Amino acid sequence: VNIAATQMSAWGTKVGALVADLTEMGKPGHMLNGRDTSSDKILVFSQWKEMLTIVAAALRSAKVPYEFCFDSKHFSPVNALML
């Protein structure tokens, strides 16, 4: 998946850069420290559920599969996206 600059800027530079990095890491044959990362699972944590909602929308528009994890039963909620 190649994310166009206009699509990235629609979400802002930080979210666009995050989606671009996550997309690159998921490509077959992507190497990090001599290891293929294409089958790795990635967790993106945030204190703010709203921020993860924005990132999720950007991932959805880039056709990157993800799961939204939210636990409101604890005093300190756990918010994460899993790719």
CB atoms within 10 A of CB 55: 21
pTM of the model: 0.70
Instruction: Give the SS3 label for residue 52.
Output: helix
- pLDDT of residue 81 exceeding 80, the answer is no
Predicted confidence (pLDDT) per residue in 38-51, tens digit: 777 888 888 888 88
User: Can you tell me the mean pLDDT for 52-64?
Assistant: 88
Across the chain, mean pLDDT equals: 76
In whole angstroms, give the CA distance from residue 44 to residue 14: 13
Dihedrals phi, psi of 73, to nearest 5 degrees:
-85, -20
In whole angstroms, give the CA distance from residue 9 to residue 33: 29
Contacts of 1 (CB under 8 A, 6+ apart): 23, 62, 63, 64
